[in-house]
Amino acid sequence: MKLKEIIERCNLRVFTPEVNFEDIDITGGYTSDLLSDVMAACEAGSIWVTIQRHLNIVAVAKLKEIPAILITRGLVPEKSTIEKAQAEGVVLLGTGLNSFEATGKIYCLLKGIKGA
């Protein structure tokens, strides 16, 4: 599914307007706040759902080929995180939903389950 569609359907906030997400495909998702857990288990091409918002999440995303990070609970990434994400071409997104709700919604979209 196109990231653009997820952003629209879930009404996500985009923190990195300079990163072009028109052609990004999302093939799965992973929800975790532990960086080593993401390093171990998140598949490339996933959207990563987390409450972490410091600089090092961009490094993890870049290494794991995670095109987009969704920061939940209305939390806002640090300025340095946004700058690094823009520079590295990682899409930073935000939502007022918590990680459980956001994950459920995106899961339903990706799996084509109605009611999301």
Partner 1 sequence: MMIQDTVSETNKFRFVYLIKPRDFSNAGDASANVKAELQKHGIEPDVIRRVSIICFEAEMNIVLYTKGGKLIVEVDDQKVDILALDKGPGIEDIELVMTPGYSTAPEWALEYGFGAGMGLPNIKNNSDVFEIESEVGKGTIVHSIVYRRKNEIKGNN
Rg (alpha carbons) of the chain, rounded to whole number: 13
Q: Rank residues 63 and 76 by Cβ distance to partner 1 and give the closer one.
A: 63
Number of Cβ within 10 Å of residue 109's Cβ equals 17
Strand partners, 32: none
Is residue 7 within the footprint of partner 1 (CB under 8 A)? no
Q: Contact 54/31 with Cβ under 8 angstroms?
A: no
Q: Which listed range, 8-16, 18-26, 35-43, 66-74, lies at the site for partner 1 (CB under 8 A)?
A: 35-43
Is residue 80 within the footprint of partner 1 (CB under 8 A)? yes
Give the start-end residues of each E strand in the chain. Answer: 13-14, 28-31, 46-50, 68-71, 91-94
Is residue 62 within the footprint of partner 1 (CB under 8 A)? yes
Is residue 76 within the footprint of partner 1 (CB under 8 A)? no
Is residue 18 within the footprint of partner 1 (CB under 8 A)? no
Is residue 39 within the footprint of partner 1 (CB under 8 A)? yes
Q: How many residues bind partner 1 (CB under 8 A)?
A: 21
